[in-house]
Amino acid sequence: MQAAQEKKLRKVVYLTFPPESSNKPVVCDLARVYGLDFSILKAQITPRHEGQMTLELSGPAEAFEAGLAYLRDQGIGVAPAAQRISRDDACCIHCGMCTALCPTRALSLNITTRFVEFDDEACSACGMCTKVCPVAAMDVLLENGVM
């Protein structure tokens, strides 16, 4: 019988590397060994040679958990990074592209004013709008001081 379609996860995580692991290719292993997609949002090395990295990770749930367990086994601290979306109202040109794909209808067209309205209470921070906005009015903010 065909296996049920695997559940996919997408999360932003904040990693802290002790000095002894800051030069190991552990993040590459997430893709090479565990098949996860990653995008480095921010990385820095402190004066004590500890590494800090904010990483967006996506992939099948099982591989995701295995990949995070691998990082922890390497002595790397893994913490969720709370993500929030904001809109630069001065930048938005009300083109409406984001409204077509917003899953929670946090972005919607006001048919009276023809302006696109953003309800941040309804936003699930999925990030879809940030990928299509032609003027980059939608921005991702990470809330634990890492960006």
Q: Are strands 107-109 and 83-87 parallel, antiparallel or unpaired?
A: unpaired
Largest Cα span, the chain: 60
- Smaller CB distance to ligand SF4: residue 76 or 85? 85
Q: How far is the CB of 76 from ligand SF4 (least distance, A)?
A: 28
- Smaller CB distance to ligand SF4: residue 92 or 147? 92
- As a whole number of angstroms, the distance between CA 5 and CA 9 comes to 13
Other beta carbons within 10 Å of 121: 6
Q: Note whether 63 binds ligand SF4 by CB under 6 A.
A: no
Q: Note whether 97 binds ligand SF4 by CB under 6 A.
A: yes
Question: Which x/- pattern over 127-146 shows residues binding ligand SF4 (rule: CB under 6 A)?
Answer: xxx--xx-x-xx--------
- Smaller CB distance to ligand SF4: residue 54 or 83? 83
Q: Note whether 123 binds ligand SF4 by CB under 6 A.
A: yes
Question: ∠ at Cα 95 (89, 100), nearest 5°?
Answer: 105
Contact residues for 119 (Cβ-Cβ < 8 A; gap 6+): 105, 106, 107, 108
**Window of 30-38, 52-60, 67-75, 123-131 that interacts with ligand SF4 by CB under 6 A:** 123-131
